[in-house]
Structure 1
Amino acid sequence: MRTSSSNENTSGAMELEEGCEFSDRQKTVVSVLSSKEPPTLWQDITGTIKEKVNNSNGKSKSFSLSKNVSSTLRGIFPILKWGASYNLAMFKSDFMAGLTLASLGIPQSIGYAGLAKLDPQYGLYTSVVPPLIYAIMGSSREIAVGPVAVVSLLLSSMTQKVVDPTIDPISYRNLIFTATFFAGLFQAGFGIFRLGFFIDFLSHAALVGFMGGAAIVIGLQQLKGLLGITHFTNNTDVVSVMKAVWEAIHQPLRPYNFVLGCSFLIFILVYRFISKRNKKVFWLAAIAPLISVVISTLVVFLTRADKHGVKIIKHVQGGVNRNSVADLQFNGPFVAEAAKIGLIVAVIALTEAIAVGRSFASINGYYIDGNKEMLAIGFMNIAGSLSSCYVATGSFSRTAVNYSAGCKTTVSNIVMAFTVFISLLLLTKLLYYTPTAILASIILSALPGLIDVGEACSLWKVDKLDFLTCMGAFFGVLFGSVEIGLLVAVAISFTKIILNSIWPRIEILGNIPGADIYCSKRQYPIAVDIPGLLIIRIDSSMLCFVNSSFIRERVMRWVDEKLEASVEESEFKLKAVVIDMSNVMNIDTSGIAALEVIHKNLASEGLQMKIVNPGWQVIHKMKLAKFVDCIGEKFFLTVGEAVEVFLAPVTVTVEK
């Protein structure tokens, strides 16, 4: 009887509504339709810039000039915040962590410089200036800054396509410095204008695949040093590398390189295994590379193994970082290429640094601001490009050592930088007899941490499209190039976004018995229909030209199915359609046109159209397009309210 009364008096409900008998209902309509005009896109952009510059959280009016300047400086230089409470006990911890960090960083920096096809000293330079800049501007306490394997490979693989380092090493080096300057410029720009979402285009799944593919390519390239090969391919794909190795093994080999390299690789891995089993001796893994360099250099020097085919580093230029301002090339033919390389490297470096920083920040229970990190990393790379450094970023392996060594603040980076600086002044001549096979073994020992098979398996279980993105990046790097791997990963990620935009989730809602809750009937089978009412929810943040046709067709198909199902049961005949737009944050003219078509089609069938909780921008554009005038005051804050108004005549009829 309740349902029948409801359907027979639906028109009465409208009359009551139009006659203003529902005072609360009228207040709701006024609150929905009379909201103030939302901010424009330009206002949003300028507002975020002002917030970043002022760092005042909307309270700048109550701040004096001196306090405002002080607040801004503290935002840009976090060292001013914690520096006041810094004490001797913290310095002792940071000092020991910095020395431990240097013992790992010095041999790694030399090896990564070779990976970037630069002379060894440039890797050491990159471990001096960028860590000092980051120490005063960075917000992460644990992150350790310096050259890393993936960025070194990325730089060399792209730059050598423009300038061959074997033919013109000076132009190649200058192009690296210029690309580093552009990388820093982009990174700082991302931080200043709060454009951190750019790095999100490289998803977690893409990064997992990219790192895994890059690790294998890096490992294969180390066969050059491990086997003592003189001539090797500049290509980074696995086919070219394996072909070069195959050709090399058919030539006279130098077995001492292989024996030396493999021996110390096993030595480093054993020390690492012991450190993982016993956390108290974590420092064994940190100093193992340095011990390997020292012992192998002594062996080669004492036995004169370089006379018997063992390849050595030879000359390493010592001294302080030299000024490289004059080396930057902004007027040459390769400026556009340098900017492109800088942009790609900037995104990869930021992604790795922020991922590392946030991982360790979460362990210690604090949060780092991604935009401030971008600013710090950007300025350290700009300063680095002016002082003979190439792109630096946060290293996961060195950060893990820094954390395990008990660092308290970024002072550990300062200690590490000064230790490397002293080594540049006093110890570079001792590296003359260091075998290149040892550098290869040090790089190889760091690669297993980049290949995360467990995470790839987790991606397969959780999201197949994410796994496809991961594999696209992996095989793109492995069989194409680093750039192809990145492009494939980004292309798959964008395809995923486009597919979700073109075919958004649309659900028919039902009522959970005994509660004023309306949920998807597919997700919750216990949800029941409201007789005479079809409730539809659009699960898309934007109703636009991409998905408007799909949404319109899906809604009208469900309406037609509902009408056909209710032909023989007149008491359950469809009377109204409720469209829940709570998730729709924006709309364009195509979306409004789709709603107009839906409204006209419903009106032709004698059905009402009710809209629930449209977003701020959505209701504003509906008013501008006169769509509100078209459908009248059929707007509600909740689905429950729309259903209550629809069923309201029942109460009135029973009372009479």
Structure 2
Amino acid sequence: METSAAVESSAAVAAFEVSKRPDTGKLVLNSPSPPSLREELVGVVGKAFRPRASGGAGGRAPPCAWALTALQCVFPVLQWGRSYTLKDFRSDVMAGLTLASLGIPQSIGYANLAKLDPQYGLYTSVVPPLIYAVMGTSREIAIGPVAVVSLLLSSMIQNVVDPAADPATYRSLVFTVTFLAGVFQVSFGLFRLGFLVDFLSHAAIVGFMAGAAIVIGLQQLKGLLGLSHFTNSTDIVSVIKAVCSALHDPWHPGNFLIGCSFLIFILTTRFIGRKYKKLFWLSAISPLISVILSTAAVYATRADKHGVKIIQKVHAGINPSSAKQIHLNGPHTSECAKIAIICAVIALTEAIAVGRSFASVRGYKLDGNKEMLAMGFSNVAGSLSSCYVATGSFSRTAVNFSAGARSTMSNIIMSITVFITLELFMKFLYYTPMAVLASIILSALPGLIDIKEACNIWKVDKMDFVTCLGAFVGVLFGSVEIGLAVAIAISFAKIIIQSLRPQVEVLGRLQGTNIFCSIRQYPVACRTPTVLTIRIDTSFMCFINATFIKERIIEWVREEVEASDGKARERIQAVVLDMSSVVNIDTSGLTALEELHKELVSLGIQMAISSPGWNAVQKMKVSRVVDRIGEDWIFLTVGEAVEACLTEQKGTALEC
């Protein structure tokens, strides 16, 4: 009788302990429904078009204040312009003039790389910087043509139309691609689609830039050697073959002498500028000095009569309209759209990376979505005024920063300077040798090859290095498109492999705490007898990984059961699934949970779930998985789930 009474008393104590435990499982199950897909989409679009209201009860602002806030969101110049001072203007004027001295020769060279006449590079340094100046949020970024985008345009559009055979149609396609690239960029900004830019990982960009730099450098051999015939292919094998075959023809060594001499001069001034920070302006103006000196030398010696290749006639004047040359329903529209999306993503990736790096130095935050809008409208306006795709240039931005730029006013000063050059000085470029343009482009390429970062990627993540190497080799031995495709394919393969085989970890408790962690990562963690605690490390338990997760858990449970055969005290009696990482689940994941529960019940094992994600809880309730498992076996934390299992086992043992 006394024994029976003691058992009943112990059972009552166990029952009291269970009733005393706070029912946090109801917090999990009674949480409000998560936002629907429609609500999330409406919220995203609403944020794009609704500026933040400031002041006023309930967060509502008067219509005039709302309109002013909306205008400031679209045109940040209205915000920073109110505190702009004369001292800032003086700094921006100096920075803008320094920027123009570097930008003018680079723009001419990049136009040549894009297989366009020189003036189109200068046009691209007039209109897009003006638009960006009133819409952009970066104070240092310099807008204009860049080497990588110029290569992208020429390498892909020439597969559709030969620029030498039909230059008018080629220009029309360039303007169409620029317009569509601008539209895509505006769309990215309006609908918060900046994640599309992240499809090109950091490792992919490092490899792509390095490969593109080498390809661009090889392309400049045509101008450096003064070759008349050259391949349109961009892969290293075709370029080397073209150079070898061209060298058998007569060529003038004066081109090579001019190009190498000024390349050495530019690199030397850059070295001096980096060593002595106060002389940064020397490296900035060295390309312009190279153009002036080489042009004067060719004119004085009439070297163009003896084989030195020169620019010849360059059209002067302001940007002519190109609106009629944009064809959105022509035979090549689909090809233009494909090229535009690639150019838009690459241009945004480069610009935002450059802008953020300098913004972090100055201690302010760059608004990525506003940058996309600014870049997009700059390119849309540029496409209507004979410009091709413009973006932020790292070399010119570094010069702008070093020159003391305080705001985007430096872009306006640069644009005005280029405009004056177009109006007054274009006729002086007639005798500019092509070799000096090649040397200017070559001098900008070392900054695109980041060997140190590639080595760092190798040390940190070998799979990321494979992505980097894939992009590099694809661009170098294939084409720009192949390099990008390889990089994206490897990146997605990495994601898919990790999703197919997510981590499933056995957890243990750190002694003296209620903290549960992986026993592989923390060997000091102790497993709880009779309770197997498992964490599912995936944010989405879905059709590609649900079966793997279920089979892995069942395999562990069977191993534990077999290992404890004949040892009742060590036998697994409960399995706790830590689903705190599982944000969402699909029908395959729900089916896997049901099958896992049935398998455990057949083995006489209780299953408990802790801290499932918001969407996962909702779907488990709707599909009635919660009813099958039991509402009492859903918990907020792993610790509560383990304690409940131990208490249940204690109560069952006492009853027996």
Q: Shorter chain as normaliser: what TM range?
A: over 0.9
- How many angstroms does 1:278 deviate by? 0.7
1:432 to 414, 430, 437: 430
Distance (whole Å) between structure 2 residues aligned to residue 228 and residue 108 of structure 1: 19
Q: Retained in 1: the 8 A contact 2:304–2:310?
A: yes
1:30 aligns with 2:29: no
Q: Retained in 1: the 8 A contact 2:53–2:66?
A: no
Q: Retained in 1: the 8 A contact 2:14–2:650?
A: no
Distance (whole Å) between structure 2 residues aligned to residue 650 and residue 584 of structure 1: 27
1:460-479 to 2 correspondence within 5 Å?
A: 460-479=458-477
1:119 aligns with 2:112: no
- How many angstroms does 1:645 deviate by? 2.1
- How many angstroms does 1:37 deviate by? 1.1
2:251 to 250, 253, 258: 253
- How many angstroms does 1:652 deviate by? 8.5
Same amino acid, percent of matched pairs: 62
1:39 aligns with 2:35: yes
1:228-307 to 2 correspondence within 5 Å?
A: 228-307=226-305
Cα deviation code 1:390-414 (max 9, x no counterpart): 0000000000000000101000000
Map of 1:219 onto structure 2 = 217
C-alpha spacing 1:650/1:162, structure 2 compared with 1 (3 Å): closer
Q: Retained in 1: the 8 A contact 2:352–2:368?
A: yes
2:52 to 35, 51, 56: 56
Map of 2:525 onto structure 1 = 527
Q: Retained in 1: the 8 A contact 2:218–2:239?
A: yes
- How many angstroms does 1:22 deviate by? 2.3
Any idea what SS the aligned residue of 2:272 has? helix
Q: Retained in 1: the 8 A contact 2:18–2:644?
A: no
1:334-413 to 2 correspondence within 5 Å?
A: 334-413=332-411
C-alpha spacing 1:52/1:58, structure 2 compared with 1 (3 Å): farther
Any idea what SS the aligned residue of 1:246 has? helix
Which residue identity is paired with 1:609? M
Q: Retained in 1: the 8 A contact 2:577–2:608?
A: yes
- How many angstroms does 1:55 deviate by? 1.9
Distance (whole Å) between structure 2 residues aligned to residue 445 and residue 36 of structure 1: 60
- How many angstroms does 1:251 deviate by? 1.3
Which residue identity is paired with 2:39? Q
Distance (whole Å) between structure 2 residues aligned to residue 629 and residue 270 of structure 1: 76
Map of 1:497 onto structure 2 = 495
Unaligned runs of 5+ in 1: 1-7
Map of 1:5 onto structure 2 = none
RMSD: 2.0
Map of 2:4 onto structure 1 = none
- How many angstroms does 1:15 deviate by? 8.4
- How many angstroms does 1:198 deviate by? 0.5
Any idea what SS the aligned residue of 1:124 has? helix
Map of 1:643 onto structure 2 = 642
Q: Retained in 2: the 8 A contact 1:208–1:470?
A: yes
Q: Retained in 1: the 8 A contact 2:318–2:419?
A: yes
Which residue identity is paired with 2:22? R
Map of 1:333 onto structure 2 = 331
Q: How many residues align?
A: 645
Distance (whole Å) between structure 2 residues aligned to residue 412 and residue 601 of structure 1: 69
Any idea what SS the aligned residue of 2:507 has? strand
C-alpha spacing 1:257/1:627, structure 2 compared with 1 (3 Å): same
Cα deviation code 1:140-193 (max 9, x no counterpart): 111000000000000000000000001000000000000000000000000000
Q: Retained in 2: the 8 A contact 1:38–1:620?
A: yes
Structure 2-normalised TM-score?
Answer: 0.96
- How many angstroms does 1:644 deviate by? 2.3
Q: Retained in 2: the 8 A contact 1:13–1:646?
A: no
Q: Retained in 1: the 8 A contact 2:538–2:582?
A: yes
- How many angstroms does 1:651 deviate by? 9.2
Distance (whole Å) between structure 2 residues aligned to residue 426 and residue 478 of structure 1: 41
Q: Retained in 2: the 8 A contact 1:312–1:436?
A: yes
Cα deviation code 1:381-438 (max 9, x no counterpart): 0000000000000000000000000101000000000000000000000100000000
Q: Retained in 2: the 8 A contact 1:101–1:286?
A: yes
Map of 1:4 onto structure 2 = none
1:504-653 to 2 correspondence within 5 Å?
A: 504-633=502-631, 634-648=633-647
Map of 1:167 onto structure 2 = 165
C-alpha spacing 1:441/1:404, structure 2 compared with 1 (3 Å): same
Distance (whole Å) between structure 1 residues aligned to residue 615 and residue 18 of structure 2: 30
Distance (whole Å) between structure 1 residues aligned to residue 168 and residue 395 of structure 2: 31
- How many angstroms does 1:52 deviate by? 1.8
Q: Retained in 2: the 8 A contact 1:130–1:383?
A: yes
C-alpha spacing 1:589/1:655, structure 2 compared with 1 (3 Å): closer
Distance (whole Å) between structure 2 residues aligned to residue 572 and residue 651 of structure 1: 14
Any idea what SS the aligned residue of 1:494 has? helix
- How many angstroms does 1:67 deviate by? 1.6
1:98-109 to 2 correspondence within 5 Å?
A: 98-109=96-107
Cα deviation code 1:414-463 (max 9, x no counterpart): 00000000000000001000000000000000000000111111111111
Distance (whole Å) between structure 2 residues aligned to residue 397 and residue 594 of structure 1: 54
Distance (whole Å) between structure 2 residues aligned to residue 471 and residue 374 of structure 1: 28
Q: Retained in 1: the 8 A contact 2:212–2:475?
A: yes
Q: Retained in 2: the 8 A contact 1:13–1:648?
A: no
Structure 1-normalised TM-score?
Answer: 0.96
Q: List structure 1 segments (4+ residues) > 6 angstroms apart after TM superposition.
A: 11-15, 57-60, 649-656
- How many angstroms does 1:23 deviate by? 5.0
Q: Retained in 1: the 8 A contact 2:203–2:465?
A: yes
- How many angstroms does 1:250 deviate by? 1.2
Which residue identity is paired with 1:617? N
Range with bigger deviation, 55-64 or 166-175: 55-64
Q: Retained in 2: the 8 A contact 1:13–1:649?
A: no
Cα deviation code 1:337-370 (max 9, x no counterpart): 1111111100000000000011111111111111
- How many angstroms does 1:21 deviate by? 4.9
- How many angstroms does 1:286 deviate by? 0.3
Q: Retained in 1: the 8 A contact 2:53–2:69?
A: no
Distance (whole Å) between structure 2 residues aligned to residue 184 and residue 125 of structure 1: 16
Q: Retained in 1: the 8 A contact 2:314–2:429?
A: yes
Unaligned runs of 5+ in 2: 1-6
Map of 1:416 onto structure 2 = 414
Cα deviation code 1:460-497 (max 9, x no counterpart): 11111100000100000000000000000000000001
Range with bigger deviation, 639-648 or 185-194: 639-648
